[in-house]
Structure 1
Amino acid sequence: MAALQQIPISLQPKIPSPKAQFLHKPSTLSFSATFPSLRLASAHTRLRNPAAGARMSATAAGSYAAALADVAKSNGTLDATSADVEKIDKMFSDEGVFKFFSNPTVDLEKKRGLVDEISASSALQPHTANFLNILIEAKRTDLIKDIVKEFEMVYNRLTDTELATVSSVVKLEPQHLAQIAKQVQKLTGAKNVRIKTAIDPTLVAGFTIRYGNAGSKLIDMSVKKQLEDIAAQLDLGDIQLTV
């Protein structure tokens, strides 16, 4: 399938307040002070009821994302924070990085030290770096990927942005992506359109565009779709066509 190019706490339950501010010194992070209204399931609860734990984790990811977006909006860095979140997403897509921060046996200071290095090399904004430190302190880096998805949705809503994922066999030229963005804007009436690209060899040729709520709408201009349509018309059933 296409691969887009785009981490249990035992603390007393607590969710980011919309007015929460991220602290600037990792050594003085206060989880309860920064997220006074967080409501997370304890490790014991998740073990007894995995389904309930999954639902609460999803709620927690949304709350973290909303808190980060609120801080970014309040200090006028929403676009820059969105760029930071994309960098974090790419960074935690590395299995080694994800395991390092998720490993409970790794010393907290070592994790903070790596965050400092990453923040410097990736030019992350101070509140984004502090946000990562808060997740580390709260043992919630397992939520990173979900937080990224939730933040993206919050960002798109705040900026009236439509996200379109374009999948193709080979990388499309910028001018082609610009044309696709214009068409999606016409279809949706959105103020802005963001394009994400994915490589999908199964399409044979052509491309697909997914947009709308959770990618619910599809424009399929792939050769694969054309072959499937031909097969259906000829009633070829399970016969597989090769190119």
Structure 2
Amino acid sequence: MSQSVVAKRYAVALFEIGMGKSNLDQLEEELRVIDDVFKNDESLNAFLDNPRVSGDQKKEFIRNVFKDVSQDTLNTLLLLIDKRRIDSIEDVVKAFVEMKNESRGIAEADVYSVRELTDEETKQIQDVFAKKMTINTLRINNTVDPSIIGGIKIRVGNQIYDGTVQTQLKRLEQKLVTANK
């Protein structure tokens, strides 16, 4: 079974618990912090991947490191350790956030631009694409990409809207080549 399918099962379970307790925002915040810790702390990952460390030692360590998170989040981490799937935590967080956003009509977009977008530009993009996609809110993660000559490229889920100068030049080139045949 693929790791993303497994991760989604854990995310669904935690999402349903959060819906029942009306604490989805808290769970998302905790999961984002945990995800950040796992992404940035190689020693944590090395410890949890070490086959010489027992499951009980790993669980005790997780209880100490993440003692301030809710019991539901902690139980999810402990279950991932029991099932030897703690390496799926990044996928669990991603799946949970996607479900939460979808349930509230929120989408996340990665916007690639040659420079940091201003607040006004960000707001414009949010308004235009929220209407286009019939969603309530569009959250934008702006990434500066110096290889873009001008314009922007937006990725929302599997959809890519490419308005970069480079892409426009390629389209123009294709039209010219086709017209000359």
Same fold, judged at TM 0.5 (above): yes
Number of residues of Structure 1 aligned to a counterpart in Structure 2: 176
Partners in 2 of 1:116 and 1:99 — Cα distance? 17
TM-fit CA distance, 1:107: 3.5
Residue of structure 1 equivalent to 2:5:
59
Residues 95-144 of structure 1: CA distance to partner in whole angstroms, max 9, x if unpaired? Answer: 61333323322343443344244425xx5333212211221122111222
Percent same amino acid among aligned pairs?
A: 28
Task: Give yes or no for contact 1:202–1:224 (8 Å, CA) kept in 2.
Answer: no
Matched, 1:94 2:36: no
Partners in 1 of 2:23 and 2:170 — Cα distance? 46
Partners in 1 of 2:47 and 2:176 — Cα distance? 53
Q: 2:163 aligns with which of 218, 221, 233?
A: 221
Residue of structure 2 equivalent to 1:195:
140
Alignment gaps of 5+ in structure 2: none
Residue of structure 2 equivalent to 1:71:
17
Residue of structure 2 equivalent to 1:170:
115
Partners in 2 of 1:139 and 1:225 — Cα distance? 44
Greater shift in the superposed pair: 185-194 or 218-227 = 218-227
Partners in 1 of 2:115 and 2:53 — Cα distance? 40
Residue of structure 2 equivalent to 1:150:
95
Partners in 2 of 1:197 and 1:104 — Cα distance? 39
Measured at CA, do residues 88 and 176 of structure 1 come closer, stay the same or move farther in structure 2, by a change above 3 Å? farther
Measured at CA, do residues 205 and 119 of structure 1 come closer, stay the same or move farther in structure 2, by a change above 3 Å? farther
TM-score normalised by L of structure 1: 0.62
Equivalent AA in structure 2 for residue 62 of structure 1: K
Greater shift in the superposed pair: 217-226 or 177-186 = 217-226
Residue of structure 2 equivalent to 1:47:
none
Residue of structure 1 equivalent to 2:55:
108
Partners in 1 of 2:144 and 2:34 — Cα distance? 21
Matched, 1:141 2:83: no
TM-score normalised by L of structure 2: 0.80
Partners in 2 of 1:216 and 1:208 — Cα distance? 13
Partners in 1 of 2:122 and 2:58 — Cα distance? 38
Q: Secondary structure at the match of 2:147?
A: helix
Equivalent AA in structure 1 for residue 71 of structure 2: P
Q: Secondary structure at the match of 1:93?
A: helix
